[in-house]
A = this chain, B = another copy of it.
Amino acid sequence: MASKVTIADVARYANVSRQTVSNVLNSPEVVKEETRQRVLDAVEALGYRVSAAARQMRTGRSRLLAVRIETTQDGMNVFDRFLHGLTESAARSGYRVLLYTAADDRAEIDTIDQLLGEFEPDGFVLTSTHHGDPRAAWLAGRGLPFVSFGRPWGAPEGVHPWVDVDGAAGTETATRHLLDAGHRRIGFIGWEPGSGVGDDRRAGWERALAAHQLDAGLVLETDGSSAQGQAAARELVERGATALVCVSDSVALGALQVVPDVVGFDDTPVAAAVGLTSVSQPLTEAAARCVELLTSRLSGRLPDRLPDRLPDRPAATHVLLTPSLVIRKEPRS
């Protein structure tokens, strides 16, 4: 249960003023190392715990990071693993994760606005960024700290901190894996053009083929379903494809009914269950980097916008992580 120890008790025990205790807890950088240690020892010895409400009233900090929980749709979603990593990383930095749901961008902005009034989160983590996304501009316009898991597709890259996984690098590796096995007619099954993530994944496949002076004509778009994946695979095989790189495991699952050498994307439980080779995103790492960028800014180490880098502490505001290929079956050409 919450302890009854007060700041005054800590101050008395450490033989400092209450203001000094408050500084140690809220702005430790202004306190001398020796004093700070004495206060922290007193905090520990007495079991002093800061009430969130009291701290928030005093410091204006809630120690809460807010993130939208996404619907899982067909369950082939990587968000739950990201969220687990986010919660763990946040806890290690002294923050907790506050969840909300929202049906679309507009509803999400309204919910964020409401949360600001109710819980005053210190920062926000946006996910599923896309072209024409109004959320980042809204947050940035109000000077609110946030990071996105996903690039600011179509917007200037320097605008805000982001973490993303290099989808093109993933499909490039997947395509090279099939090339190495001797395949030369490798198709791509994607989504409708215009999605940042989908176009990026397609670009990696094109890049790998271009490096071998191979034609990138064997490509079809789908709505992302397994049924359309299967139909697209059938058509691409008719046009001569011997192997397929897919924008998602869902599409790949359909393609797998048509041809054995298929690579999916996201390494979902379904890929593991059916023995599908798939590109795997480093989600725990991505979550940790999101927390790092956000809490760095919250503790004042990163300015809101940073064109320049400090020479002794290169401040990363954009992190692009490289995915890996989980090979479950060797392809045959």
A80 at interface (Cβ–Cβ under 8 A)?
Answer: yes
Query: For the complex, what is the distance from the CA of A148 to the CA of B74, rounded to whole Å?
Result: 27
Q: Hey, which chain B residues are within 8 Å of A273, CB to CB? A: 226, 253, 270, 273-274
Which residues of chain A in 111-142 are interfacial with respect to chain B, using CB atoms and an 8 Å cutoff?
A: 113, 115-120, 142
A272 at interface (Cβ–Cβ under 8 A)?
Answer: yes
For this chain, the copies found in one complex come to 2
Query: For the complex, what is the distance from the CA of A273 to the CA of B51, rounded to whole Å?
Result: 48
Q: Hey, which chain B residues are within 8 Å of A272, CB to CB? A: 74-75
Q: Which of B62, B99, B118, B142 contacts A97 (CB 8 A)?
A: B99
Q: Hey, which chain B residues are within 8 Å of A1, CB to CB? A: 113, 116, 142
A49 at interface (Cβ–Cβ under 8 A)?
Answer: yes
A55 → chain B closest CB, angstroms: 8
**CB-defined A-B contacts under 8 Å, sample of 25:** A1-B116, A2-B120, A49-B118, A51-B117, A51-B120, A52-B120, A53-B120, A57-B57, A63-B118, A64-B98, A69-B83, A69-B87, A72-B80, A74-B272, A75-B272, A79-B80, A84-B101, A87-B101, A91-B101, A96-B98, A96-B115, A98-B99, A226-B273, A253-B273, A269-B270
| A52 touching B57, Cβ below 8 Å | no
**Interface 1/0 per residue, A63-83 and B, CB below 8 Å:** 110000111101111011101
A88 at interface (Cβ–Cβ under 8 A)?
Answer: yes
A228 at interface (Cβ–Cβ under 8 A)?
Answer: no
**Interface 1/0 per residue, A294-330 and B, CB below 8 Å:** 0000000000000000000000000000000000000
A56 at interface (Cβ–Cβ under 8 A)?
Answer: yes
| A2 touching B117, Cβ below 8 Å | yes
A5 → chain B closest CB, angstroms: 10
A306 → chain B closest CB, angstroms: 24
**Interface 1/0 per residue, A263-280 and B, CB below 8 Å:** 000001110111000000
